[in-house]
Amino acid sequence: MAKTVTRFACLALALLFVALGVANGEMQAVFRKAIRICLECIGIG
């Protein structure tokens, strides 16, 4: 029973942090960095 509660608490905390990151605009920053890294890998950027 305690294991199930711990799992749901961790899931709720993770979802909270994801929502806070999206609300703070971090999703766009991470996406821009990922695009830059991919372009550097193929030699364009």
pLDDT digits (tens, 9 = 90+) for 3-34: 999 999 999 999 999 999 999 999 999 999 99
Q: Report H helices in the chain.
A: 2-23, 26-41
pLDDT of residue 28: 92
Secondary structure letter of residue 5 according to DSSP: H
Q: Do 36 and 45 touch, CB atoms closer than 8 A?
A: yes
pTM of the model: 0.62
What is the per-residue burial (b if ≥16 Cβ within 10 Å, else e) of 6-16?
eeeeeeeeeee
Distance CA 13, CA 5 (A): 12
Q: Which domain holds residue 22?
A: 2-41
Number of domains in the chain: 1
